[in-house]
Amino acid sequence: MAHSFLRRRTLLLSALIVLIVSYGAITLVASRWLVPERFDLTADGLYTLSPGTRQIIDSAHRPLWLTLYFSQHATRDLPQLRSYEQRVNEMLQEMVARSHGRIHLQVVDPVPYSDDEASAEGNGLTPINGGTNGERIFFGVVGTTRPPSGGDTALDLMADLPDDTNGKPVDRTLPIPFFDPLRETFLEYDIAKLLYQLSEPEKPHIGVISSLPVMGDPVQGTQPWTVMRQLQQLFDVEMLDQGKLKRIDKSIEVLLLIHPKNMPTDAQYALDQYVLGGGHLAVFVDPFAESDPTPLLDDVTSATNNHSSNLPRLFADWGVAYNPDQIVLDRARALQIELAGANLAHPAMLGLGAQELNRDDVVTASLQRINVSSAGHFDLLPNADTRLVPLLQSSADAEVVPTQRVVEASNNPSSLLQNYQPQNQNYVIAARLRGPFVSAFPELAKRPGHLAASPNNAEVILVADTDLLTDRLWVETQSFLGQPMFTAFADNGEFITNLVDNLSGSSALLSIRSRSSSQRPFTRVLALQRAADRKFLQKKQELESELADTKQRLGELQPAKGASEASTSTEQKHEIEQFLQRELEISKELRNVQHQLNAEIDALGTRLKVINIVLLPMMITLLGLLYGWRRTRRNRRQRT
Residue 480 confidence (pLDDT) above 70: no
Distances (CA, A) of 294 to 261, 282, 289, 411: 11, 23, 10, 20
- Residues 548 and 559: beta-carbon distance below 8 Å: no
The per-residue DSSP string of 506-541 comes to -HHHHT------S----HHHHHHHHHHHHHHHHHHH
The answer to which of 417-431, 446-460, 473-487 has the lowest mean pLDDT is 473-487
**What is the separation of C-alpha 213 from the centre of its chain, rounded to a whole number of angstroms?**
31
- Gap between the terminal Cα atoms of the chain: 34
- Sheet of 370-373: strands edge to edge? 334-339, 342-352, 370-373
For position 299, what pLDDT does the model report? 56
Confidence of residue 525 (pLDDT cuts 50, 70, 90): low
pLDDT value of position 150: 45
Question: How many residues are present in the chain?
Answer: 640
**Closest to 184 in 3D by CA, of 110, 280, 88:** 88
CA 223 – CA 407 distance, rounded (Å)? 27
pLDDT at 494 over 50: yes
Q: How much is the pLDDT for 449?
A: 92
Q: What is the pLDDT of residue 167?
A: 46
Pick the more confident residue, 457 or 392.
Answer: 392
399 pLDDT higher than 90? yes
pLDDT at 301 over 60: no
| Predicted pLDDT at 374 | 96
Kindly state the average pLDDT of the residues 128-153. Answer: 79
The C-alpha atoms of residue 217 and residue 374 are separated, in whole angstroms, by 25
Per-residue model confidence (pLDDT) at position 600: 63
Q: Domain spans of the chain?
A: 51-159+168-199, 205-324+374-394+425-510, 532-561+569-632
pLDDT at 558: 53
Q: Residue 315's pLDDT is what?
A: 97
- Does residue 306 have a pLDDT over 50? yes
CA dist 316 and 310 (Å) reads 11
Q: What is the pLDDT of residues 24-68, one digit of tens each?
A: 777 666 555 554 455 555 555 566 788 888 888 888 878 999 999
Q: What is the pLDDT of residues 242-277, one digit of tens each?
A: 999 999 998 999 999 999 999 999 999 999 999 999
How far is residue 435's CA from residue 449's CA, in Å, rounded to a whole number? Answer: 21
- Number of Cβ within a 10 Å radius of residue 600: 17
Chain segment 219-229, per-residue pLDDT in tens? 777 889 999 99
Residue 390 has a pLDDT of 97
What percent of the chain has a predicted confidence (pLDDT) above 90? 42
Question: What mean pLDDT comes out for the span 119-139?
Answer: 89
Res. 135 pLDDT band, cuts 50 70 90 = confident
The neighbouring-strand residues paired with 208 are 239, 256
pLDDT at 152: 43
Topology, domain 51-159+168-199: Glutaredoxin (3.40.30)
Displacement of CA 305 from its chain's centroid (Å) = 37
Mean pLDDT confidence for 324-352? 91
- Asked if the model's pLDDT at residue 564 lies above 60, the reply is no
Q: Model confidence at 557, in pLDDT bands (50, 70, 90)?
A: low
Q: Which residues contact 128 (CB under 8 A, 6 or more apart)?
A: 136, 137, 139, 178
What's the chain's average pLDDT?
81
Secondary structure (3-state) at 183: helix
